[in-house]
Amino acid sequence: MPDTAINTNDHTAPKIYNDEGARKAYLCAAQSAAIAIQDAVDNMRQINAISNTIIGVAMAQQLENSINADAAERIINNARKMSSDAAADFEAVSRNAANLLKDFPSGQ
């Protein structure tokens, strides 16, 4: 029975790799895609930590009357946008990685 590679959840039949070299190339590409996704998750986690810190500092400064409400609102909105952008980046990396593997040549 030939080795098969797992595709994304698009419910298509998995590609069959009869050539050992093609199978190894696919596995290397899959590992690289997984690392890219893991890096995107780490980035999103770090951006969210920074964003939460920014929001906390802005709220604390607003409570101390160091900054006015409009300035605090701008800071908080920018921090939330940072988090949203990081999530969008994660989604783009994940889609690109899935497409790379889905369209990877089978070596047939």
- Residue-range domain boundaries for the chain: 42-108
Whether the model pTM is above 0.75: no
For the cut 50, the answer to whether the pLDDT of residue 79 exceeds it is yes
Q: How far is Cα 77 from Cα 71, in angstroms, rounded to an integer?
A: 10
Q: Under 8 Å CB-to-CB from 25, ≥6 apart: which residues?
A: 104, 107
Other beta carbons less than 10 A from residue 84's beta carbon: 12
Other beta carbons less than 10 A from residue 44's beta carbon: 19
Q: What would you report as the CA-atom Rg of the chain, rounded to the nearest whole angstrom?
A: 22
Beta strand 3-4 with 16-17 is antiparallel
Where does the pLDDT of residue 108 fall: very low under 50, low under 70, confident under 90, or very high at 90 and above? Answer: low
Where does the pLDDT of residue 4 fall: very low under 50, low under 70, confident under 90, or very high at 90 and above? Answer: very low
pLDDT of residue 80: 97
Q: How far is Cα 74 from Cα 77, in angstroms, rounded to an integer?
A: 5
Looking at every residue in the chain, the average pLDDT score rounds to: 85
Each residue's pLDDT tens digit, 6-46: 444 554 444 555 677 888 888 899 999 999 999 999 999 99
